Amino acid sequence: MTKTVTDVICPFCGTLCDDLEVVVSDDGKQLLEVYNACVIGTEKFLHSQAKDRVTRPRLRQADGTWKEISYDEAADYTAQMLAKAKKPLMYGWSSTNCEAQSVGNEIAEISRACCDNTAAVCHGTTLIAVQDIGLPTCTLGEVKNRADRVIFWGCNPAHAHPRHMSRYSIFPRGFFTGKGQMSRKLIVIDPRVTDTAKMADVHLQIEQGKDYELLNALRVALKGEWLPDVVAGIPKEKIREAADMMKSGRFGIIFFGMGVTQSIGKNHNIDEAIAVTKDLNEYTKFSIMPMRGHYNVTGSGEVFAWQFGFPYSVDLTRGFARYNPGDTSSIDLLNRGEVDAMFTIGSDPGAHFPISAVKHIANVPSVCIDPHLTPTSGVSKLHVPVAFNGVETGGNCYRMDNVPIDCRKVVEPPAGMLTDEQFLVMVRDRLKKLKGAA
């Protein structure tokens, strides 16, 4: 006998699909089938069942081998590392739930650490831009129900957010968009002819690194002012055509991704894209939304913000919260050699930071909490495997449009394995004793 769990939330990307169905064995110990998920989400659920999973903490020995240790020993090691460090960096948080993030923030507060999430290498520059100029946005259902102009700028949902287009942005038939895809004009801006661009009504194959200029040209075109003949490799006629197409819609949305956040211009690219959106609201209704990557990077930003006041790159070393990317941001902290201990959870900086930053991680005391084997666990002194959040434990998460959705537990973790939150509580309680905190 099997049972089917419905309304399951997919813990992969910021699309946070919540309509999955998962078939599990009657005893709830085995996960058998996954329905409705994309190929990546399916893999995430199924991989939890891998027979070769590491299920106990392991400490790197002098000869380079791993030694299995207990969770108690691992929590002792972690607490002591944090207690000793003058400037520990607690990084990650985007692939765990808000409950764990909250305990993590207590730990960071007690140890007076720097804490940061994966926005650092994803949409951190978006957050800087939002701080500079604001953000006219909406929930994804608004896009589904109303949008007749959809722009993907420097993002490729066909690969990175596979169900985004069918659930929200291109294909769905909503309240005022009964003809689905036929109700919408699609514009894609990307230096490559991406699989998303192939579906577009208009594809502007922009010269890489010139997003700021092209966005500026769009603003100029909206105002009907003078333009140079070619901007960012795009003739001015095409720019004016795109501007008119945007203006003529009743409800438009710009989705953007790492094509703009990580290219030169960075926060300013988004700043200008938001300015375009703001300008368009003089003519019609327009919104803009970052295509957030990790399924709960948004949640981490929310929890940081209501507890410390800032969404990422928070420095608590002076005993109170400070924030200034460039100074308090992970990559800068590592590249500048500012930190003396590294705590990683729910992310893989080893794979996703430039190698210069990873080298610094390898040089300091380090703990990696992750269900997987990763490049980060590969360079850390202690690896603590934990249950898969969203599969083997539930917990609240925030979708890319900031909508909170409580994840579901669908299957039991392997016997004796702890969740992120459980392990963090052990660390917190030990740290409190070490630091004599209230």
Please list every residue from 88 through 147 that binds other proteins, using CB under 8 A.
Answer: 98-99, 102, 109-113, 120-121, 124-125, 127-128, 130-142, 144-146
What's the closest the beta carbon of residue 189 comes to other proteins, in angstroms?
14
For the beta sheet containing 322-323, the strands, ordered from the edge strand earlier in sequence to the opposite edge, are: 66-68, 58-60, 382-384, 366-369, 341-345, 88-92, 114-117, 314-315, 322-323
Fill in the amino acid letter for 270.
I
From 72, 193, 237, 248, residue interacting with other proteins (rule: CB under 8 A)? 193
3-state secondary structure of 40: helix
Nearer residue to other proteins within complex by CB, 29 or 192: 192
For 38, the token pair is 């994309």
Max CA distance (Å), the chain: 70
Least separation in angstroms between residue 146's CB and other proteins is: 6
**Interaction residues for other proteins, span 415-434 (CB under 8 A):** none
Given a contact cutoff of 8 angstroms between Cβ atoms, the answer to whether 19 and 11 are in contact is no
The yes or no reply on residue 170 touching other proteins (CB under 8 A) is: no
Buried/exposed 61-91: b ≥16 CB within 10 Å, e otherwise: eeeeeeeebebeebbbbbbebbbebebbbbb
Q: Which is nearer to other proteins, 72 or 437 (CB)?
A: 437
Would you give the binding string for other proteins spanning residues 48-77, x where CB under 8 A is met? --x----------x-xxxx-----------
Query: Is residue 182 close enough to count as binding other proteins by CB under 8 A?
Result: no
Select from 287, 344, 347, 393 the one that contacts other proteins (CB under 8 A): 287
SS3 at position 34: strand
> Is there binding between residue 235 and other proteins (CB under 8 A)?
no
Q: What residues form DSSP beta bridges with 431?
A: none
Asked if 393 interacts with other proteins (CB under 8 A), we say: no
Identify which of 45, 13, 272, 206 has the alpha carbon closest to the alpha carbon of residue 122.
13
Stretch that binds other proteins, among 25-33, 70-78, 179-187, 335-343 (CB under 8 A): 335-343
Please, which residue, 29 or 67, has the CB nearer to other proteins? 67
Q: Tokens 């092209």 correspond to what residue?
A: 214
Pick the stretch among 70-78, 181-189, 366-374, 422-430 that binds other proteins (CB under 8 A): 366-374
Looking only at residues 291 through 330 of this chain, which bind other proteins when binding is defined by CB under 8 A?
A: 293, 301-303, 305-311, 313, 316-327, 329-330
DSSP 8-class letter at 65 = -
- Select from 203, 213, 256, 386 the one that contacts other proteins (CB under 8 A): 213
**β-bridge partners, 115:** 90, 314
Stretch in the footprint of other proteins (CB under 8 A) among 69-77, 398-406, 411-419, 424-432: 398-406
